[in-house]
């Protein structure tokens, strides 16, 4: 029971939700105390051995029934986080030599994040996807192949097929459980390049999958030093007072920046919020008056160019706010 008292109420609720079909496993995990190895095996994340770590301040177990569209860069609403609360998200992995270093850094600070995987990467590197789950992270979806034309630039049926194939590959790699339609184990999705379509959004909503944009990004698709990227991101976070942060665990400069970033978050008084699938209706806040979609403005500029490109050409989407 000592171990039980050390954990926050929210964390215990998550554990209970995850172990609905295995209460004895939960009890066994608690009995193991701070080691928590059984908990790690079952996806609830290991207990934190580092007392001075940044850690997770609270867990939000989102009910995604009927879908959800959040992130002010794209949508006029976002999660109602508190002042200086941050949700960390990483796109485009998993990638050996990069994702594993990000996981090491997160582990050292007992921080949990959401990874939006590219299906073919997950299929190629299932051990990394499994590690994300084992270490308590949430594994969301980011299409099968991240088409260079975006999902908006391909036929509507092909776009849905890209999403389906991706989440089937991600789920199989990360959990070993086949996706057979409907709501996946982790019903979180992010469009490549934020290029959503009405038809794909409608499909995601019908599967009870939440669609994530972002509130803050580090523009890490642009070449910059880790130091410059950190300075830019902290400046933006100061202005936004937190929010859903988009990074890429596939980008070398971002990988190099993460340890210093986590330190800066702690020093700056920021708190980490971890998102998991669950039963809590999301608390939302609306965009301020005069809001416009930043990603839509970017896409408007680049979509004509994408349509004219041929397959195999350089992938320009990296510069667009992906
Ligand atoms: Zn991406």
Considering the domain architecture, whether residues 220 and 119 belong to the same structural domain is answered as yes
Measured distance CA(298)–CA(194) in Å, rounded: 10
Buried b (16+ CB within 10 A) or exposed e, 274-311: bbbbeeeebeeeeeeeeeebbbeebbeebbeebeeeee
Q: Any idea what the CATH number is for the domain that residue 234 is in?
A: 3.20.20.370
Which neighbouring-strand residues pair with 88?
Answer: 245
Considering the domain architecture, whether residues 57 and 41 belong to the same structural domain is answered as no
Structure tokens at 311: 């397959």
CA of 14 to the centre of ligand 1 (A): 28
Considering the domain architecture, whether residues 248 and 160 belong to the same structural domain is answered as yes
The rounded percent of the chain whose pLDDT value lies above 70 is: 81
Considering the domain architecture, whether residues 85 and 19 belong to the same structural domain is answered as no
Q: What pLDDT digit, counting tens, does each position of 152-211 carry?
A: 999 999 999 999 999 999 999 999 999 999 999 999 999 999 999 999 999 999 999 999
Considering the domain architecture, whether residues 231 and 142 belong to the same structural domain is answered as yes
The rounded percent of the chain whose pLDDT value lies above 90 is: 77
CA of 280 to the centre of ligand 1 (A): 27
Q: What pLDDT digit, counting tens, does each position of 100-126 carry?
A: 999 999 999 999 999 999 999 999 999
CA of 193 to the centre of ligand 1 (A): 6
Q: What is the pLDDT of residue 306?
A: 74
CA of 181 to the centre of ligand 1 (A): 23
Q: Band of the pLDDT at 48, cuts 50, 70, 90?
A: confident
Report pTM.
0.83
Tell whether the model's pLDDT for residue 54 goes beyond 90.
yes
Q: Band of the pLDDT at 230, cuts 50, 70, 90?
A: very high
Mean pLDDT to the nearest integer, 1-26:
39
Collapsing DSSP states into helix, strand and coil, what is residue 217? Answer: strand
- In the block, tokens 């039980």 appear at 4
Collapsing DSSP states into helix, strand and coil, what is residue 24? Answer: helix
Mean pLDDT rounded to a whole number for the chain: 86
Q: Band of the pLDDT at 45, cuts 50, 70, 90?
A: low
**Number of neighbouring beta carbons within 10 Å of residue 222:** 13
Considering the domain architecture, whether residues 149 and 281 belong to the same structural domain is answered as yes
Residue 247 near residue 253, CB atoms below 8 Å? no
DSSP β-ladder status, 284-286 and 77-79: antiparallel
Residue 290 structural domain: 53-319
Q: What is the pLDDT of residue 36?
A: 33
Considering the domain architecture, whether residues 32 and 71 belong to the same structural domain is answered as no
- In the block, tokens 């609830």 appear at 44
**Number of neighbouring beta carbons within 10 Å of residue 217:** 24
CA of 285 to the centre of ligand 1 (A): 25
Considering the domain architecture, whether residues 9 and 135 belong to the same structural domain is answered as no
Cα of 215 vs its chain's centroid, Å: 12
Question: Minimal CA–CA distance to 213: which of 78, 66, 60, 59?
Answer: 78
CA of 90 to the centre of ligand 1 (A): 9
Considering the domain architecture, whether residues 205 and 114 belong to the same structural domain is answered as yes
**Number of neighbouring beta carbons within 10 Å of residue 27:** 13
Tell whether the model's pLDDT for residue 220 goes beyond 80.
yes
Q: What is the pLDDT of residue 304?
A: 82
Considering the domain architecture, whether residues 19 and 163 belong to the same structural domain is answered as no
CA of 146 to the centre of ligand 1 (A): 6
Question: Minimal CA–CA distance to 120: which of 92, 98, 139?
Answer: 92
Q: What is the pLDDT of residue 42?
A: 33
Considering the domain architecture, whether residues 41 and 62 belong to the same structural domain is answered as no
């Amino acid at each position: 029971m000592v171990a039980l008292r050390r954990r926050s109420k929210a964390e215990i609720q998550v554990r209970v939700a995850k172990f609905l079909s295995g209460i004895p496993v939960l009890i066994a995990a608690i009995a193991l105390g701070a080691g928590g190895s059984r908990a790690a095996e079952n996806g609830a994340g290991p207990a934190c051995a580092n007392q001075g770590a940044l850690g997770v301040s609270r867990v939000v177990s989102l009910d995604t029934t009927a879908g959800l569209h959040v992130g002010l860069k794209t949508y006029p609403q976002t999660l109602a986080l508190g002042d200086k609360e941050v949700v960390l998200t990483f796109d485009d992995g998993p990638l050996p030599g990069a994702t594993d270093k990000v996981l090491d850094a997160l582990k050292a600070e007992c921080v949990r994040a959401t990874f939006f995987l590219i299906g073919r990467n997950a299929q190629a590197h299932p051990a990394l996807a499994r590690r994300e789950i084992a270490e308590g992270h949430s594994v969301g979806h980011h299409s099968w192949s991240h088409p260079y034309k975006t999902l908006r630039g391909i036929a509507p049926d092909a776009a849905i097929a890209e999403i389906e194939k991706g989440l089937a590959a991600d789920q199989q790699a990360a959990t070993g459980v086949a996706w057979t339609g409907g709501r996946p184990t982790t019903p979180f999705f992010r469009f490549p390049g934020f290029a959503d379509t009405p038809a794909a959004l409608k499909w995601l909503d019908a599967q009870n999958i939440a669609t994530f944009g972002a509130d803050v990004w580090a523009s890490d698709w642009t070449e910059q030093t880790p130091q410059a990227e950190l300075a830019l991101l902290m400046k933006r976070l100061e202005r936004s007072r937190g929010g859903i942060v988009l990074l890429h665990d596939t980008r070398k400069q971002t990988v190099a920046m993460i340890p210093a970033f986590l330190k800066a978050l702690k020093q700056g008084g920021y708190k980490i919020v971890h998102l998991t699938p669950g039963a809590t209706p999301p608390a939302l806040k609306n965009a301020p008056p005069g809001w416009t979609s930043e990603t839509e403005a970017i896409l408007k500029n680049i979509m004509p160019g994408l349509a004219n490109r041929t397959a195999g050409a350089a992938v320009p989407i990296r510069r667009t706010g992906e």
